[in-house]
Amino acid sequence: MDNNLFRLAPSDKPETPEPRAEARRPLVQRTASMSKNYNPGEASPPEPAPQPVHREPQSPSGTTQSQPLPVDFGYDDEHPLLKIPYSVTVAGQRYTGDSISLMQIHAQATEGGMLGNGTRHIAIINFAFESFVLSLHPEVMVISEDVQGKSVFQFTDPTGGHLPQLRYIVNSHIGGDFVSVDGMISYTGPTAPKKPKGEARGHSLMNRVRSLGVAALSVLLIIVAGSVLLQRYSTSYEMHPVFVERAGQKMRATAAGQISYLNPNAAKGEVLYSVNANTGNVLNFTMPCDCEVVVTKGISDGTTVLQTDLILTIYVNTSLIRAQTLMSIEGLNRAMNGDQVHMDLNDGRSIPVEVIASEATTAASLRGDVFVPVELVSEEGALTTKDIGKSARLRLSKGLLGL
């Protein structure tokens, strides 16, 4: 079979489809130089690779602003900066801490000059707590610093010996256990681990007993304090001591002068002593009874005396005991108005007494003396001859609400 049937005449040309009416939009537009150098008669040049379009950020006003990336942005393991109060000393220069992380230190210089970017130094980081200061000494490298003193330091060895302490402070600050007040750090977290429930139940009884003991002790202290306050309110002591002595007749000088004669063994009606007065008169005093005479210590023939000086005492009844003292005007007024008066002896006994105001008391009060002499009379038999020479204190007391 002749294969010419399948042959094409030279004049016959294969039909080609018409090009599409729609023109494709190029992904990347040609540049002006490419359009200029293109010649339809020549082969089409290869199309360049598409170039990414970089869009600059625009400000709210519409103007384009360039924002340079920070120098330390490339650290993929950078930790967050925290506002923890601290201070830094680097190469003798002091800095006030602005923020800190496990990688960097941001601080503000308070004094000194610039250290120079890229230099390495040993830093002293101080965290001030309420009662102590935690200091770390890592090696740091200066990342940046400006003339205003704002500096950034990078830890050269972030996993060094300072890491456990610094990590604990950072984690505690993040967890809320640390509170910053006026540049100080206070710990507010738990101080002891929680106890198991069984152990807590075992201690509940002890805590209850301890609470009851504290309550009982508090009540006791309140009672003691109340009794002390009541005693201070209702009780007062006189300043001068009380003297217990035998009751007798006291013989005093009636004028200033010199004793010219003294006879303690004189009988009734005889001259007991004589005083040559400064006025030139001789004053003789006779013995009133056949009684015991006790001469005052320091009195003898030739002794000069003043008016009212005690020369001797005549004891009529040797068993009679008397107590006397100097009492304040305020205390005398309280005793006269019904306050209870007790005489507290130095042997521990407390004897109720009655205050007797004599003529000497009235005279001293009229003269305006602050303290006046009074006599104290106790119940019969309360004081004996064994109490002679003992001292005591005078105590005044009144009932509650002044009754």
Three-class SS of residue 281?
coil
Give exposure, 281-310, as e/b (b: 16+ Cβ within 10 Å): eeeebebeeeeebeeeeebeeeeebeeebe
Report how many domains make up the chain. 3
Q: Can you tell me the distance from the alpha carbon of 173 to that of 165, in angstroms, rounded to the nearest whole number?
A: 12
| Residues 191-240: tens digit of each pLDDT | 555 556 555 565 678 888 889 999 999 999 999 998 888 877 778 889 88
Three-class SS of residue 361?
helix
Look at residues 314, 325, 320, 307 and name the one whose alpha carbon lies nearest to residue 376. 325
For position 223, what pLDDT does the model report?
Answer: 93
Q: Can you tell me the distance from the alpha carbon of 149 to that of 141, in angstroms, rounded to the nearest whole number?
A: 16
Q: Is residue 207 in some structural domain? A: no
Considering the domain architecture, whether residues 307 and 381 belong to the same structural domain is answered as no
Q: Can you tell me the distance from the alpha carbon of 46 to that of 313, in angstroms, rounded to the nearest whole number?
A: 152
Considering the domain architecture, whether residues 303 and 336 belong to the same structural domain is answered as no
Considering the domain architecture, whether residues 100 and 165 belong to the same structural domain is answered as yes
Q: Can you tell me the distance from the alpha carbon of 117 to that of 112, in angstroms, rounded to the nearest whole number?
A: 15
Give exposure, 93-120, as e/b (b: 16+ Cβ within 10 Å): bebebbebbbbbbbbebeeeeebeeeee
Q: Can you tell me the distance from the alpha carbon of 181 to that of 130, in angstroms, rounded to the nearest whole number?
A: 10
**Chain centroid to CA 292:** 70
Considering the domain architecture, whether residues 251 and 308 belong to the same structural domain is answered as yes
Q: What is the CATH number of the domain that holds 283?
A: 2.40.50.100
For position 110, what pLDDT does the model report?
Answer: 83
Q: Is residue 98 in some structural domain? A: yes
Q: Is residue 10 in some structural domain? A: no
Residue 196's contacts (CB-CB under 8 Å, 6 or more residues apart) are none
Considering the domain architecture, whether residues 359 and 301 belong to the same structural domain is answered as no
Q: Can you tell me the distance from the alpha carbon of 54 to that of 49, in angstroms, rounded to the nearest whole number?
A: 16
Q: Can you tell me the distance from the alpha carbon of 150 to that of 131, in angstroms, rounded to the nearest whole number?
A: 29
Considering the domain architecture, whether residues 90 and 134 belong to the same structural domain is answered as yes
Cβ atoms of 80 and 101 within 8 Å: the answer is yes
Q: Nearest-5° angle of CA 376, CA 379, CA 383?
A: 75
Considering the domain architecture, whether residues 169 and 103 belong to the same structural domain is answered as yes
Token pair for 61: 């006003």
Q: Round to the nearest angstrom and report the end-to-end CA distance of the chain.
A: 160
Domain carrying residue 331: 320-402
For position 226, what pLDDT does the model report?
Answer: 86
For position 314, what pLDDT does the model report?
Answer: 87
Considering the domain architecture, whether residues 86 and 169 belong to the same structural domain is answered as yes
**Spans in the chain with pLDDT lower than 50:** 1-46, 48-57, 59-64, 66, 69, 73-74, 76, 402-403
